[in-house]
Structure 1
Amino acid sequence: MGNKLVLAPIKGYTDPIWRSCYFEHFTGIDKVVTPFLLLSEHNEAKKSYFPRFLPELGSDIEVVPQYLVKNPDTIIYSSKIMASLGVKEFNLNMGCPAPAIYKKGRGSGLLENLDSVKHILDSVVGNIPGDFTVKIRTGIVDSSLVKPILDILNEYTLKEVIVHPRYSRQLYGGSPDMEAFKYVYDNSTNPVSYNGDIYSLGDFKRVSTEFPRVSSWMLGRGVLQNPYLPIEIKTGKVVDQNIRKEGIINFISDFRSRLKGSYDKEGIAANRVKACLIYIAAYYNNSPQFITKIKQSRNLDQILDMIFLN
């Protein structure tokens, strides 16, 4: 069904500053799902709140706001405002594994509350000015929730069901449960999108060969490690190492400048750049010893030298 590539929402990384900079330097992504917007459940957000969180508006890249809420009124109210700005699709996060979110019954916590899921979907689907998607995990501790959740989702017309085939308790460790993903893939009445552990062109070829009907591919940590991953998937070719080095150095320099202009304290900007460099370093050398050296260094230029002279 094609290689439509979606940038995953990664809180603390893929915020508007990072995304604006990333899209100045790299190509291949077709759609962005935002890290969840910080909306109260009292519908206080005004139209002026949204544009700075959605810098892709007006570009060729689709932008999809993500909700991490239980109150459908929040979705209905704010979706109308964002639709007036040009947003055409909205996403409900039913997969966030963060313990604090789960305990509040949001994110993956919704997987255990089927009545709440039905209430949200009954209220939202068909009542907002745009398409609706959901992002799920395949369970809390095992895959026993996959069938009952999918049975509910199949009652509605959704643009996509985005599946990260891990359990909530795994957080981002362990291995994806591809059997659980296959169950959704085989039995969903809605298009299915895949998310999870695509770090290389080889990873993509392996999973896409097994699941050719996947409607789109959500890339997250793989893009943080290798910013060229989307275009490598689109072209089927790995980017030359010299081009990669130059492109990453230019991106980091630009990102660093933008952050300095956005934060009063330089330390905050430096920590954000370093967090990105730790991911990029893992592309070149994922050994614990090397990553520890990167984490211990406080000099960003030294970190770049360590990465590219490694």
Structure 2
Amino acid sequence: MHWEVAPLEGITTFIYRKAHHDIFGGASCYYTPFFSPTQERKLSTKEARDLSPEHNAGIVVIPQVLSKDPTQVLWAQQQVAERGFTELNINVGCPSGTVAAKGKGSGMLADITALDDFLEGVFANNLLPISVKTRVGVEHHDEFPAILNVFNQYPIHRLTIHPRVQKDFYKYPVRPEAFAYGIANTSLPLTYNGDLFTVADVERFCLQYPNVETIMFGRGVVGNPALLRQLNGGAPATREELQRFTATLYAGYQAAYGHKGAAAQRMKELWYSMIHLFADNQKLDKKMRRLSTPQEYEQTERLIFETLVLK
């Protein structure tokens, strides 16, 4: 089996990818948060830093692009190829309302003809293998057969299916019937993504879909950074590893952002999920959610490691 780490906006940056790879490992590859080409065809400082060969050395990384313009995707391919990457992933799944309203991300699924025209343009000029990450519709998964029929017309390197529709965001359960339809109705290599949080979850999934060889993890890995190692037969996270992991991230975010405030807010987001590795976490979970200063963050994290017991 192949375990992949999903492209999570603001989370799976080069700082997170390197720390996770070095301390926990287990991932076959990591996807970058999407970058979105501009009319000026210029990477932002943040995007250039995240795609820097120096920051991705020794790790298998696949950049993800967000665009509805084939010429922008061609430019994106040139940028990532120049930096030594060997694949580009296209985001057809972002559920953000502002993204979808522009006809990007999962908004591309609302117009099948436009999606077909876009992919035709992309594959007329592809320099690299192109993979796609998609949702299964906008309003309902009954839209997915028509969407999949479009994907089936193109030599997509790998199709990652997140079986929710755009309107679901992450609030509603995944729609397994849509993924089952995908398995039965495409010859494209498939990856599954969505709501697998524990080893038991993955074991049940593998029994149900024995021919699926690649799973992409998002919130499951954020909540338990040792999950992929455990799936490879390794040990759960120790207190010492988690302390080293969070210290590495906090220092990395401070260096990237130039001050503790932004670094503390980023760590606060991660702890929303990671704190559930600890028993009796309710009081400190509430404290972490309400904190507003770096000092409060540092004190709360210290209390987590000093007073709570790993499950």
- Scaled by the length of structure 2, the TM-score of the pair is 0.89
Letter in 2 for 1:124: V
Give the corresponding residue for 2:259. Answer: 265
Match of 1:283 among 277, 281, 295: 277
Q: Distance in 2 between matches of 1:288 and 1:171?
A: 26
Alpha-carbon RMSD across the aligned residues, in angstroms, is: 2.4
Letter in 2 for 1:66: Q
1:289: how far off?
6.3
Q: Distance in 1 between matches of 2:221 and 2:200?
A: 14
1:194: how far off?
0.2
Q: Distance in 2 between matches of 1:289 and 1:173?
A: 24
1:304: how far off?
4.2
Give the corresponding residue for 1:164. Answer: 162
Give the corresponding residue for 2:108. Answer: 110
Cα distance, 1:126–1:211 mapped onto 2, change above 3 Å: farther
Count matched residues.
Answer: 303
**Secondary structure of 1:151 counterpart:** helix
Give the corresponding residue for 2:308. Answer: 309
Q: Distance in 2 between matches of 1:135 and 1:84?
A: 23
Q: What residue ranges of structure 1 are gaps of 5+ in the alignment?
A: none
- Scaled by the length of structure 1, the TM-score of the pair is 0.90
Letter in 1 for 2:212: V
1:21: how far off?
2.2
Cα distance, 1:45–1:275 mapped onto 2, change above 3 Å: closer
Letter in 1 for 2:133: K
**Secondary structure of 2:90 counterpart:** strand
Residue 300 (str. 1) matches residue 298 (str. 2): yes
Residue 244 (str. 1) matches residue 243 (str. 2): no
Residue pair 1:138, 1:145 contacting (<8 A) in 2 also: yes
Give the corresponding residue for 2:32. Answer: 34
The farther-off stretch of 202-211 and 117-126 is: 117-126
**Secondary structure of 1:217 counterpart:** strand
Equivalent residue runs for 1:143-162 within 5 Å: 143-162=141-160
Cα distance, 1:304–1:222 mapped onto 2, change above 3 Å: farther
Give the corresponding residue for 1:217. Answer: 215
Residue pair 1:98, 1:171 contacting (<8 A) in 2 also: yes
Cα distance, 1:261–1:45 mapped onto 2, change above 3 Å: closer
Cα distance, 1:285–1:169 mapped onto 2, change above 3 Å: farther
Residue pair 2:106, 2:134 contacting (<8 A) in 1 also: yes
The farther-off stretch of 23-32 and 35-44 is: 35-44
Match of 1:85 among 73, 78, 83: 83
Give the corresponding residue for 1:135. Answer: 133
Cα distance, 1:279–1:111 mapped onto 2, change above 3 Å: same
Letter in 1 for 2:17: R
